[in-house]
Amino acid sequence: MLFYIFAAIAVLSGAYMVLTRNLLYAGFSLLLTLLSVAAIYVLLFADFVAVTQLMVYIGGVLVLILFGIMLSSRVHDKSVMSENTNVGWGITISLLTLIGLSYTIWQAGFSSLPWIQQAGTDVLAGQKSTVQLIGVKLMTDFVLPFEIASLLLLIALMGAAYIATDKQKV
């Protein structure tokens, strides 16, 4: 039951985010969408993904977006609003994507999976946290790709800082 509640909140706040013209309201709607998706991850026992969702997307990216909107929301004493253009194309592509995803899920045959056949029993009752297992795997088997990714992110950050500097010679 909770899954359906959080899924409905995610879908409704996502739709509001796309359809509203006020950028600040869209940012707060994005917050609600990301929080409900994190709650769905918790319900699916994907605690590492839920914490990552909270820390990275809500704690970092969304706060940056909201501060950017709030600091630049007024230009010459006029509120910045988004324009709704290509609404027809957006609705058409969204409906085609929904139909395609629904067909794919319908044809996947999830009813043959053993935990769906045992819907009356609590299959995931003995599930433990995945954080320790992921941490051990990251620092043993996947340490080289992890470090390469961190170096690439550091280089991208240095490049962004270089591009953002003023290049005029005084």
Question: Has this prediction a pTM greater than 0.85?
Answer: no
Lowest mean pLDDT among 31-35, 121-125, 164-168: 121-125
Alpha-carbon gap, residue 35 to 58, rounded angstroms = 8
Q: Where are the domains of the chain?
A: 1-82, 127-165
Would you give the end-to-end CA distance of the chain in angstroms?
64
We find that the CATH architecture of domain 1-82 is Up-down Bundle (1.20)
Alpha-carbon gap, residue 3 to 146, rounded angstroms = 33
**pLDDT (tens digit per residue) in 110-141:** 665 555 555 555 555 566 677 788 888 888 88
Whole-number CA gyration radius for the chain: 22
Q: Give the mean pLDDT of the chain.
A: 80
